[in-house]
C-alpha cells in the first residue's frame, strides 16, 4: 500500500488566479471561519448535518428575525422546497419577477408548473405590485388562480412587500420571497424574506455572505420547516430502518460549510456597510456624469447594495453599456450586464409575461460594477476612472484621484 504525503507543496494545490483582477463580488472571509471549521475537524463532524448546522440555523434565524430556518445545499434547493411546500405541481401557474437570476425560476419547471413573468417598477427594479394585481385579477376572472407568487428582492433591495403581500392575501395566493440577494436589507424595519410563507437565502460564493455554496429556507410556520427538513434528508420517516412514504431530496448543508457560515454571519452587518460604502463612493464619483443613473433606493427601507448597478444612456453618456463593460474588462475589471429578463431567455420564450418593457430597458442599459465588501479604495478609483474616461461627454470635467490618463 502506498502512503500519502500529508504535507503537499502549496503549489501542488493552489489554483492559479490573477492577483490584480478586480472581481464583481468575490468571497470575503473574516478569519473567524477557520476557528469554526477547525472545530468541525477536531470533532470529526465532517458530515451533512451536525452541530454547526443546528447552530447556523438558529443564529441565522435570530439575525434576520425569522422564527424557523433550515440550512440547505443551495438557494436553488430552497426555492424548490418552497414551491413544493406551497403545493406547486404539474399544470400550475407560478407568478414570478422576470428580472432575476434563473435560479428563481428553474424550480418551477422542476415541478412541471408554468412561470408567468411580472415586470419591474422603476422605483425599486422589483416586481410591480400593480402588474401583479392585474395578472391575478385576470386569472381570478378566468377561475384559475396561480398556486404561488415568487417575489425577488433584486441586487440587495426589497420589493414593495406590503403592497405585494396585500395583493396575494386578497386573492389567497401563497407568497414566496427570494431574498438570495438581499440579506441585510430592510423593508419598513423587517428583513426581506420574513413576510411571505417562506423566504429563501443563498450563500453562493458571490453573495453577501458565503459558505462556498449553500442556502437557507425560513418561515414563521414550524411545521413547514420541519417538513422541508424531512424532504431535504431523503424524506426519511421516523423508523430504525429506512422508511419512505414521500419523495425526498439530498438537499442538506454540510456541517463544514455551516461552520464557514457561522463565521460569516458574525460580520454580516460590516459586510453590508462595506457594500453600501462602495455604492456611496461610486455615486459620488460618477453621479454627475451625463447619462448615468444608479439603481434607486426605494423609500421603504435600506438597500444592502449587494451589487452596485447603474444604467447608461448612450446618447447622453457618449458610449453604451457594452463599450463600458469592455473598457473595464480590458483593465482586468469584471463587470456584468444586469440580469437578462427571464421572458427574453430562449428557455422561457413561450411563458406568458405581464409587461416587460422596464426589465428590457434595465437589461439593455444596465451594468453591475465591482461591489465586493473587500474592494479596496484603489480598485474603486480604478473602476470609476475607467467609466469616466469611456464617456465622450464631459468625462474629464471633474478628474478624480486615480484617473491619471
Ligand X SMILES: *Cc1c(COP(=O)(O)O)cnc(C)c1O
Residues in touch with ligand X (CB under 6 A): 74-76, 100-101, 103-104, 152, 178, 180-181, 202, 204, 215
Nearest approach, Cβ of 156 to ligand X (angstroms)? 10
Element (H, E) at 217: strand 215-219
Q: Residue 352 and residue 59: Cα distance in Å, rounded?
A: 40
- In the complex with ligand X, which residue's Cβ is closer, 178 or 320? 178
- Give the residue with the Cβ less far from ligand X, 104 or 198: 104
Q: Looking at beta carbons only, is 151 or 324 nearer to ligand X?
A: 151
* Residues 36/37/38/40 CA torsion (nearest 10 deg): 90
Give Cα separations from 81 to 219, 313, 342 (angstroms).
12, 40, 21
CB of 112 to ligand X, least distance (A): 20
Q: Which is nearer to ligand X, 253 or 384 (CB)?
A: 253
Q: How far is the CB of 80 from ligand X (least distance, A)?
A: 9
Query: Distance between CA atoms of 111 and 146, rounded to whole angstroms?
Result: 14
- Going by C-alpha positions, the residue among 136, 135, 128, 126 that lies closest to residue 100 is 126
* Sign of the CA dihedral with 157 first, then 162, 163, and 165 last: positive
Q: How far is the CB of 337 from ligand X (least distance, A)?
A: 15
Min dist CB 51 to ligand X, Å, is 23
Length of the chain: 405
Please tell me whether residue 202 adopts helix, strand or coil conformation.
Answer: strand
Residue with smaller CB distance to ligand X, 36 or 251: 251
**Are the C-beta atoms of 294 and 310 separated by less than 8 Å?**
yes
Question: 392, 391, 155, 156: which is closest to 286 by C-alpha?
Answer: 391
Residue closer to ligand X (CB basis): 129 or 193: 193
For the CB of residue 170, give the shortest distance to ligand X in the complex, in Å. Answer: 25
Amino acid at each position: 500500500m502506498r502512503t500519502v504525503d500529508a504535507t503537499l507543496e502549496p503549489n501542488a494545490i493552489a489554483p492559479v488566479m490573477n492577483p490584480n483582477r478586480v472581481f464583481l463580488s468575490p468571497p470575503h472571509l473574516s478569519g473567524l471561519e477557520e476557528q469554526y471549521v477547525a472545530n468541525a475537524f477536531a470533532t470529526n463532524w465532517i458530515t451533512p448535518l451536525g452541530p454547526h448546522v443546528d447552530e447556523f440555523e438558529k443564529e441565522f434565524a435570530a439575525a434576520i428575525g425569522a422564527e424557523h430556518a433550515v440550512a440547505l445545499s443551495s438557494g436553488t434547493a430552497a426555492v424548490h422546497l418552497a414551491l413544493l411546500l406551497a403545493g406547486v405541481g404539474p399544470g400550475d401557474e407560478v407568478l414570478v419577477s422576470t428580472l432575476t437570476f434563473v435560479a428563481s425560476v428553474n424550480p418551477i419547471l422542476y415541478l412541471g408548473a408554468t412561470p408567468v413573468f411580472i415586470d419591474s417598477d422603476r422605483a425599486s427594479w422589483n416586481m410591480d405590485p400593480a402588474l401583479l394585481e392585474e395578472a391575478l385579477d385576470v386569472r381570478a376572472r378566468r377561475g384559475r388562480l396561480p398556486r404561488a407568487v415568487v417575489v425577488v428582492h433584486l441586487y440587495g433591495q426589497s420589493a414593495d412587500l406590503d403592497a405585494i403581500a396585500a395583493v396575494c392575501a386578497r386573492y389567497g395566493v401563497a407568497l414566496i420571497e427570494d431574498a438570495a440577494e438581499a440579506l441585510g436589507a430592510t423593508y419598513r424595519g423587517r428583513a426581506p424574506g420574513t413576510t411571505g410563507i417562506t423566504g429563501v437565502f443563498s450563500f453562493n460564493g458571490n453573495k453577501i455572505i458565503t459558505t462556498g455554496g449553500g442556502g437557507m429556507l425560513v418561515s414563521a410556520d414550524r411545521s413547514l420547516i420541519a417538513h422541508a427538513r424531512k424532504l431535504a434528508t431523503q424524506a426519511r420517516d421516523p423508523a430504525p430502518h429506512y422508511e419512505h412514504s414521500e419523495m425526498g431530496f439530498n438537499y442538506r448543508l454540510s456541517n463544514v460549510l455551516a461552520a464557514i457560515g457561522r463565521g460569516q454571519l458574525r460580520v454580516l452587518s460590516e459586510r453590508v456597510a462595506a457594500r453600501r460604502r462602495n455604492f456611496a463612493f461610486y455615486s459620488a464619483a460618477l453621479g454627475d456624469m451625463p447619462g448615468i443613473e444608479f439603481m434607486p433606493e426605494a423609500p421603504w427601507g435600506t438597500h444592502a447594495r449587494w451589487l452596485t448597478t447603474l444604467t447608461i444612456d448612450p446618447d447622453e453618456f457618449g458610449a453604451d453599456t457594452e463599450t463600458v463593460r469592455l473598457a473595464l474588462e480590458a483593465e482586468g475589471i469584471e463587470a456584468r450586464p444586469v440580469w437578462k429578463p427571464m421572458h427574453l431567455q430562449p428557455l422561457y420564450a413561450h411563458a406568458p409575461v405581464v409587461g416587460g418593457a422596464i426589465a428590457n430597458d434595465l437589461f439593455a442599459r444596465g451594468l453591475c460594477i465591482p461591489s465586493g465588501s473587500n474592494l479596496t479604495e484603489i480598485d474603486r478609483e480604478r473602476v470609476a476612472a475607467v467609466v469616466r474616461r469611456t464617456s465622450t461627454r464631459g468625462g474629464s470635467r471633474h478628474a478624480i484621484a486615480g484617473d491619471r490618463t
